Amino acid sequence: MNDDDVTVGPLSGPRPGQRAGTPGAGGGEPTGSEEAGRGVPDATVARLPQYLRALTVLAERGTETVSSEALAAAAGVGSAKLRKDLSHLGSYGTRGVGYEVARLVQQISEHLGLTQRWSVVIIGIGNLGHALAGYGGFASRGFGVVGLFDDSPAVVGKRVNGLVVRPLAQFEAAVADERPTIAVLAVPAAVAQRVCDRVVATGVSSVLNFAPVVLQVPEGVHVRKVDLASELQILAFHEQRRAALARAARLVPGAAPAGRGTSGEPEAAAVAGVVR
C-alpha cells in the first residue's frame, strides 16, 4: 500500500472546538459533505499547503485565475496530480479558464482548518524552540502560540516573542486554562517520549515532533515528525549521486551529463560502475 492508498477523514468536517462548515459549496461543485464520504488521501493532504502557498503568491500579485499547468508548476508537482488532488476537495476548475484563485484559496484553507485560530504550545525552548517561538508566520496562518515551556532554570522566566517561558511543571494547569490544540516538541530525543506522554494525558491530540525519535501514541492522537538531520542526509545522498554521475560522464565517452533529480536504470548503472 502506498501513500495514495491511505485516506483520512474529511478535512472539511468539524474538529474539536470547530463548527462544521460548507467548503466547496456553490457553482455546481460537490460540497464538502459530498466529498466527505470519499475521504482525502494522506498524500493529498501533504500537498495542500504547497498549493495554498503558491495560490497565496498569485493572489498577492493580483492574479484572478490560474490554469492547472501554471499552478502545478508553481507548486512543484505534475498537473495531473494537482487536478486529482483538487478533485478530492470538490474543485474541478473551468475548462479553458482554470481555477479562480481567491475561491481556491478559501476552499483549501477551509479544508485545512485555517479559517479559524488554532492554539499551540511549544515545549523545549532551546535554540530550535526559541526560533519557533519567535517565528512571525504562524499567526498569519491561523496558529497562535499561547504557551512556552521548559524545565531548565536557565530558560524559565525569560520572555520570547511576548510570552514568558514557564516551567514544565505548570504544563497541565496551563492546558486546562488555555486548551491548546497542538503541541510542538522541541526537546532532546531522550525525553521526547516522556514529554509526549504528559502532553497526550492532558487531552492534546495533535503533536508536531522535532525530536529524532519515533513517538508511541494511543489511537486518536496524530503525530507529525520533522527530522532535519534526515532531510540533510537525503540531500547528501543526491549530492553524492550527482558527483558519481559527473565522474561517470568523464570516464565513459558519450555518456550523458549528470541528471537533475532523475533515477532511471541507465543512470543507476553508471553510478554503480563508478562506485565499484
User: Under a CB-based contact definition with an 8 Å cutoff, are residues 58 and 115 in contact?
Assistant: no
pLDDT at 191: 97
The response to whether 62 counts as a known ligand-binding position is no
Look up residue 25 and give its three cell numbers.
Answer: 459549496
Segment (H or E) for 190: helix 189-201
pLDDT at 253: 66
Q: How do 118-123 and 143-150 pair as beta strands? A: parallel
Beta pairing partners, 223: 207
pLDDT at 260: 53
Look up residue 64 and give its three cell numbers.
Answer: 484572478
Residues of the chain with pLDDT under 50: 1-37, 262-276
Segment (H or E) for 47: helix 42-60
Alpha-carbon dihedral sign for residues 107, 138, 170, 152: positive
pLDDT at 257: 56
- DSSP-assigned letters across all residues of 87-109: HHTT---BTTTBEEHHHHHHHHH
pLDDT at 180: 95
Q: What is the DSSP letter of 98?
A: B
47-81 pLDDT tens trace: 999 999 999 999 999 999 999 999 999 999 999 99
The response to whether 124 counts as a known ligand-binding position is yes
Among all chains, which residue has been given the C-alpha cell 474538529?
15
pLDDT at 248: 87
pLDDT at 247: 87
The response to whether 161 counts as a known ligand-binding position is no
The response to whether 126 counts as a known ligand-binding position is yes
How far is C-alpha 184 from the geometric centre of its chain's CA atoms? 13
Alpha-carbon distances, residue 237 vs 211, 230, 234 (angstroms): 22, 11, 5
The response to whether 129 counts as a known ligand-binding position is yes
SS3 content of the chain, % helix, strand, coil (to 5): 45, 15, 40
Look up residue 80 and give its three cell numbers.
Answer: 495531473
- Amino acid, single-letter form, for residue 109: S
Look up residue 27 and give its three cell numbers.
Answer: 457553482
pLDDT at 94: 83
Beta pairing partners, 8: 40
Is pTM beyond 0.75? Reply is no
User: Under a CB-based contact definition with an 8 Å cutoff, are residues 214 and 225 in contact?
Assistant: yes
User: Under a CB-based contact definition with an 8 Å cutoff, are residues 132 and 122 in contact?
Assistant: yes
Segment (H or E) for 120: strand 118-123
Domains, the chain: 3-111 (1.10.10.10), 118-226 (3.40.50.720), 229-275 (no CATH)
User: Under a CB-based contact definition with an 8 Å cutoff, are residues 88 and 41 in contact?
Assistant: yes
